[in-house]
A and B are shown apart, each in its own frame.
Chain A
């Protein structure tokens, strides 16, 4: 039982400006189900990418020993040949091809270069039986649900004679029934001698299925626990995940909180890609003037979806619920409506959705408020330049001038441009989605200062963040969101990382 199938020692992986993994160790015993837990950004997925050769040998430091041999994978094909298969959170299936074609993609059953379809479909059928999927192998993948697609991925892994199966958040997109089936299947694979590594945010599943768990935090290994001998509980895992001291990374602020500014009630949003799946489920929340409110939730909880559906219905279908501004009900159907009602949303993916990277600072700042800078369609370029210069000074955007191309700025300065753009529209309510993602510590402090200043001006701010310390340091009140439902509302003086993590993972209180 003590034989290790995999041993990763001293793994360090750096990206420009960030160290994602620092001297991480991982040892997986043969035939066990090994869970990896950690907050968003703790380095779980990066570690698995190192293992599977997505980051080839040479791009990281440290040693991987698999089945007693040192491995230097140059790519995914190498690791698959050794028997390591990774199933990513975003499934890698071709939706237009059949189940059987997908299973043998890149690994076709062929005789002298000609595909043997009988054998392909027959063997695919056998694999489907093994994973308990009752579908015809010739069915197109886009015709089956996400839960079944996950099973197809596992069947595909089995076809490659997998010895170590890695699943990244396998149940994140599944409903309870599909999740339960998947977990059963993993137990069956374990009985067949296949070792599994599972990354999951759902701690109840980890407790239910794993034999041991490794906890990562900030790119370091914190500990590896044996489920049976260490009597691991969810609380034990949570304290390992968050046990980080809060240092003085936040500017001081004395909140002065006023009247209610913004409220949504019973907000429900359905997924546009998976019909019938509720992404946001009856959520209600309220912001007051001068208040900074946090929205905490793990990846896939529906935070961004909630924000975007409120912001001019830019996400989701069959949206229902009520929005109130200053106590009066309002209708928001488009982004223009939202801006008109004084609502701004700074996206989590500023490079793709927040900025025009190939244009300069002044035009990015003015983009959402051209109406105010133009008369009868003609843009007042002098005024635009003046406004942009004003923001460059007040927001401390570090650039040679407002003519600089936004794509060349650092993350922190890009974020300041995004905030400038929205502040220029003079909003009363700002929804900031991961405002400090990918930003270094110094710039984070500046962004926090800006957020505080906005609250002082009497604006209501909703901050969505994956980093609990950030929410604890910044917010007056924090809502937790789990699987689209608001599961808690914690005022500042009662908020601790443990309590929030508990609400974020446990579900309804």
Chain B
């Protein structure tokens, strides 16, 4: 039936659409077990929670990115949006704005920028790559109009959130940011699988032409996903501000690529129409666990993270290619 000989048993037991997610899950477990065997004090629940804590912002950004990629688009502006969110928060807090007003404003700005990009992409029929590239420069540039220096955050609410730990019993604890990230994932998954918007996202990515001829609101859907992505990157920026307690124009450089990598490693097709948020979560966890392992190793430079991510990306893109080639051959 196909040319893939490596996973015949797996393919028979579970539907093919879950295979990429399962592969990522297996990889994660394997890494965790390997780490546990190699290092003392590695195989604990807190290690996984720490991955969530350290990557909460990336997870939130990747959720938005998943929406966009599922429609077959791409959003390159998210990293700059994160930086812009930290800068706006830091500077307004320094001016004495109340913390919750700042948060609300930042989220509105993020969503508005996403909405604008989505509208341009749809109504002017420009490739998302170009539009969000422009958005990326715009947001990054705006950071420097606020300040070229790093601005520390001393607001009480922010520092309280940054230092708070929620005890889960045992020796386990998480930060509020990680909880927020998980809530975002749950809401995202719910929207994708149980709402008309979610259906339209998959349908648009599966075949935009078909979706149009089925009378689905393709325009609204495309604009909605970029708005969601803008909102998520602003929220990710807030979490990043909690994490770093400062605003800096050079922060989160290249985070858009980390987010894309997480989504792809999570098994979502770059061409759209197929993928799951749980895959994205696993993708972020894999990326985070690589960093953890490298820090445990101690002797390796942190650039090895990038090397591993690169290798993984190649592996997953090849995997997707093999699967899509296999499914194209099989109907005959």
Q: Which residues of A contact B (CB under 8 A)?
A: 16-17, 311-312, 314, 334-336, 338-339, 345, 347, 352-359, 363, 366-368, 370-371, 374, 377-379, 381, 403, 405, 407-410, 421
Contact = CB atoms under 8 A, between A and B. Distances in A.
Given A356-B203, A363-B202, A370-B196, A405 B210 contact: no
B327 A407 contact: yes
Secondary structure of the B contact surface, majority rule: helix
B311 interface: no
Contacts of B209: 352-353
A405 B327 contact: yes
Contact of A357 (B195, B196, B207, B213): B207
5 contacts: A314-B212, A374-B196, A379-B196, A405-B327, A407-B328
Contacts of B197: 377
Interface string B318-331: 00000000011011
B123 interface: no
A335 B212 contact: yes
Nearest to B218: A335
B175 interface: no
A134 to B, nearest CB: 36
Contacts of A352: 207, 209-210
Contacts of A345: 213
B273 A314 contact: no
Contact of B195 (A314, A368, A374): A374
A338 B274 CA distance: 29
A353 B194 contact: no
Contact of A368 (B15, B202, B214): B214
Contacts of A407: 327-328, 331
B214 A410 contact: no
B16 interface: yes
Contacts of B269: 358
A273 B273 CA distance: 29
A403 B327 contact: no
B199 interface: yes
B17 interface: yes
Nearest to A366: B199
Contacts of A377: 195-197
A354 B328 CA distance: 17
B330 A408 contact: yes
B202 A356 contact: yes
Nearest to B15: A403
A359 B196 contact: no
Of the candidates B197, B214, B327, the one having the most CB atoms from chain A within 10 angstroms of its own CB is: B214
Contacts of B194: 378-379, 381
A143 to B, nearest CB: 22
Interface in B189-205: 194-200, 202-203
Contacts, number: 93
Interface centre among A311, A314, A353 (most CB of B within 10 A): A353
B162 interface: no
> Which among B194, B207, B327 has the greatest number of chain A C-beta atoms within 10 A?
B207
B273 A408 contact: no
A358 B206 contact: yes
A20 B242 CA distance: 67
Given A17-B332, A352-B209, A354-B210, A379 B215 contact: no
B105 to A, nearest CB: 27
B195 to A, nearest CB: 5
Interface of B: 15-17, 194-200, 202-203, 206-207, 209-217, 269, 273-274, 327-328, 330-332
Contacts of B331: 407-410
A17 B332 CA distance: 8
A339 B215 CA distance: 7
A356 B331 CA distance: 15
A355 B210 contact: yes
B327 A408 contact: yes
A206 B216 CA distance: 45
Contacts of B16: 405
Give 7 nearest A-B pairs by CB, closest first: A356-B206, A335-B215, A16-B332, A368-B214, A339-B215, A370-B196, A336-B215
Contact of A353 (B199, B200, B210, B215): B210
A247 to B, nearest CB: 27
A208 B41 CA distance: 90
A250 B181 CA distance: 60
A308 B266 CA distance: 38
A421 B215 CA distance: 12
B215 A338 contact: yes
B319 to A, nearest CB: 16
A2 B235 CA distance: 82
A334 B212 CA distance: 9
B236 to A, nearest CB: 25
Contacts of B206: 356-359
Given A377-B195, A403-B15, A368 B210 contact: no
Given A314-B212, A335-B213, A356 B273 contact: yes
Nearest to A336: B215
A353 B213 contact: yes
Given A405-B16, A407-B328, 11 more contacts: A335-B213, A354-B213, A356-B202, A357-B206, A358-B273, A359-B273, A363-B203, A370-B199, A379-B194, A405-B17, A405-B327
A347 B213 contact: yes
B18 to A, nearest CB: 11
Contacts of B332: 16-17
B327 A363 contact: no
Given A16-B332, A408-B330, A363 B212 contact: no
A354 B15 CA distance: 23
Nearest to B274: A358
Contacts of A312: 215
Contacts of B327: 358, 405, 407-408
Which of B198, B202, B213, B328 has the most chain A CB atoms inside 10 A of its CB? B213
A356 B212 contact: no
B195 A356 contact: no
Nearest to A374: B196
Nearest to A335: B215
Contact of B207 (A335, A356, A366, A374): A356
Nearest to A338: B215
A403 B18 CA distance: 12
Given A312-B215, A408-B331, A421-B214, A353 B196 contact: no
A359 B327 CA distance: 12
A385 to B, nearest CB: 13
B225 to A, nearest CB: 15
Contacts of B212: 314, 335
A166 to B, nearest CB: 29
B214 A379 contact: no
A424 to B, nearest CB: 11
Given A335-B213, A338-B215, A355-B210, A367 B274 contact: no
A420 to B, nearest CB: 12
Nearest to A410: B331
B199 A379 contact: yes
Given A352-B209, A353-B209, A374-B195, A359 B215 contact: no
Contacts of A370: 196, 199-200, 216
Nearest to A422: B214
A374 B200 CA distance: 13
A443 to B, nearest CB: 14
Nearest to A380: B194
